[in-house]
Amino acid sequence: MALVLALGAGLWGIGHLMGAPMRARLAMLGFLYLAVLAVNLALPAGHPLAAATGGSAGEWLVVGGIGAAIWGYTRGLALLRRRVRPENLTGDEEGPAPFDPERHARHIVLREIGGAGQQKLAKARVLVVGAGGLGSPVLMYLAAGGVGTIGVIDDDVVDLSNLQRQVIHTDARIGMPKVFSAEAVMKSLSPGVVVRPYHRRLEADIANDLFVDYDLVVDGTDDSATRYLVNETAVARGIPLISGAISQWEGQVSTFAPADGTPCYACVFPDPAAPGTALSCAEGGVVGPLPGVIGSIMAVEAIKEITGAGQGLRGRMLIHDALWGENRTITLKRRADCPVCGGLPAGGAAS
């Protein structure tokens, strides 16, 4: 058995030196195990090769069983962790650190924010849906700006094609879940921020329980099903929603807060776009800096929502045309027959 263990260690070491991924190295060990097991099953007892590789198929079957049990346990635990909100994995999550006057001095000297506004940011809890092109600047600016608790939900991993515009991720983190890649950057910008990464897709069975922990939702997703789910849940919880979208050279941002009398997303877009009419970034392309422009506007609107500074985009939509360098703002109207918020009186959330 010592010979087999030495071979296994050698294969693992060679794979490590060659930079082989973990899965490839585990596959090599699996092939070695199967080869050794086949030798011990095929050769008679006492054969020199069988003796050199352990001498008993039964022993290797026991080893394989233990290995399978360990793998099954760790795999099951990983699947469970993906379904549990990370802050509930331990019962003692620390709160956000108090804001640092020196770090946030440029906010504090703004009369529209000041110390009181910065304190509101420190106490705020913002959920960002999507850690891609729009989520990247939103997450970085909210963390750097002093938002105390930031949740981010996304089921994707960093891909090489993302790096042209998703500036929170790096080449070194290709293959890493985007939420954990984003968490590392947010923590480096603001060590006191509480980051709650949810590496999973936002689905109806978790949306309500997830949203209840937050004061504001920022949606930067790129698929219509998730957008409508985010809107419906935000309306049901009475939570303001800042929504942004981009395509090719154009982007748009609006704030939806029907509990306070504004339209909701479904008032403006009652039906998903017909197939082929709204191209995704992968289908139609997108100029690299555009998500940074729109995402930064979304972050500004989030800070305004939290602090009460200025006039936000409630009931209005800002449209940015990067190709021609133009901005325009349109007024949005609430629809009395909206199936999501039509029965919601101004000033109160749906039950």
Domain coordinates of the chain in residue numbers?
2-83, 98-331
DSSP for residue 248: B
What is the token pair recorded at 208? 């309500």
What is the token pair recorded at 65? 């069983």
Helices (H), 43-154: 48-52, 57-83, 105-108, 114-123, 135-145
Q: Are 306 and 235 in contact, with CB atoms under 8 Å apart? A: no
What residue has token string 């709204």? 278
Active site residue 281: yes
Residues of the chain where predicted confidence (pLDDT) is lower than 50: 84-92, 347-351
Catalytic residue among 264, 267, 281, 338: 281
Beta bridge partners of 331: 316
According to the model, what pLDDT value does residue 47 have? 72
Give pTM, 2 decimals: 0.72
According to the model, what pLDDT value does residue 269 have? 93
What residue has token string 């050199």? 52
According to the model, what pLDDT value does residue 227 have? 95
Distance CA 224, CA 239 (A): 19
DSSP for residue 276: T
Angle, in degrees to the nearest 10, between helices 114-123 and 290-307:
110
Q: Which is nearest to 233 in space by CA: 206, 267, 262, 260?
A: 206
**Superfamily covering domain 98-331:** NAD(P)-binding Rossmann-like Domain (3.40.50.720)
According to the model, what pLDDT value does residue 169 have? 97
Beta strands 326-331 and 316-321, pairing class: antiparallel
